[in-house]
């Protein structure tokens, strides 16, 4: 992080030869303070009460600066606070939390409200269209099941009810996390895992 030509020399840090922090110039004071709170509490084993934004600031710096154990600690504490799927996706993209992506995609696929243009800008074209496709496939399948549930097929056989269809479980490691999904949301995980556009970056 420190690329000043005077690092390690006797005259480093003087007025004539200042230490230049170009690579971390975009870091704000608030981010550093929140990072310090998360870092300090681990020493005294007392988890601080921080907002989602404060934990996010600390996670961003811990990820950028390579504090691996602190990063794990922050992710464990932030998991219960970050319930909005789009926020989780953004945080996962920024800080490399790949295991958050598939469950968050499943939440977006299962909800009743359609994806918005703003969400599309955040997700990016490929992910946005992949999620739309999965949602449309599910809507069509649901409509087909509703049409035939409990009825006789044209051949006379009793059709399979939607209640009889087993839940497809995704065995991918990225799906085995604490973020809670309901039954409908879990049903999307296998299809999400197969979509190349939704592979972790």
Q: Which residue has the higher pLDDT, 172 or 72?
A: 72
Per-residue model confidence as pLDDT tens digits over 105-139: 999 988 888 889 999 999 999 999 999 999 888 88
- pLDDT for residue 161: 43
8 A C-beta contact, residue 52 and residue 82: yes
State how far the Cα of 25 lies from the Cα of 33, in Å rounded to an integer.
15
Q: Which residue has the higher pLDDT, 127 or 48?
A: 127
Task: Identify the residue whose tokens are 């469950």.
Answer: 103
Percent of the chain with pLDDT over 90: 12
Given a cut of 60, whether residue 79 has pLDDT beyond it is yes
Measuring CA to CA, how many Å separate 22 from each of 3, 4, 5, 19, 154? Answer: 8, 9, 12, 9, 71
- Assign 3 a pLDDT band (cuts: 50, 70, 90): low
Per-residue model confidence as pLDDT tens digits over 128-180: 999 999 988 888 877 666 555 555 545 555 444 444 445 455 555 444 446 67
- Assign 89 a pLDDT band (cuts: 50, 70, 90): very high
State how far the Cα of 57 lies from the Cα of 136, in Å rounded to an integer.
36
State how far the Cα of 136 lies from the Cα of 133, in Å rounded to an integer.
5
- Assign 42 a pLDDT band (cuts: 50, 70, 90): low
Name the phi and psi angles at 2, rounded to 5: -100, 110
10 Å Cβ neighbour count for 104?
Answer: 25
Q: What is this structure's pTM?
A: 0.66
- pLDDT for residue 165: 45
Given a cut of 80, whether residue 186 has pLDDT beyond it is yes
State how far the Cα of 201 lies from the Cα of 29, in Å rounded to an integer.
29
Q: Which residue has the higher pLDDT, 76 or 144?
A: 76
């Amino acid at each position: 992080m420190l690329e000043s030509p005077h690092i390690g020399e006797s005259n480093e840090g003087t007025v004539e030869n200042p230490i230049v922090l170009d690579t971390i110039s975009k870091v704000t004071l608030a981010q550093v303070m929140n990072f310090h709170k998360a870092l300090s509490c681990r020493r005294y084993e007392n988890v601080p009460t921080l907002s989602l934004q404060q934990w996010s600031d600390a996670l961003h710096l811990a990820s950028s600066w390579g504090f691996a154990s602190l990063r794990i600690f922050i992710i464990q504490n932030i998991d219960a606070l970050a319930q909005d799927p789009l926020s989780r996706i953004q945080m996962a993209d920024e800080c490399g939390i790949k295991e958050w992506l598939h469950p968050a995609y499943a939440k977006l696929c299962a909800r009743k409200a359609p994806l918005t243009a703003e969400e599309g800008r955040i997700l990016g074209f490929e992910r946005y269209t992949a999620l739309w496709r999965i949602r449309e496939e599910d809507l069509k399948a649901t409509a087909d099941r509703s049409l035939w549930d409990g009825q006789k097929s044209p051949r006379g056989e009793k059709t399979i009810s939607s209640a009889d269809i087993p839940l497809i479980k995704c065995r991918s490691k990225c799906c085995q996390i604490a973020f809670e999904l309901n039954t409908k949301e879990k049903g999307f995980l296998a299809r999400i895992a197969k979509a190349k556009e939704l592979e972790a970056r």
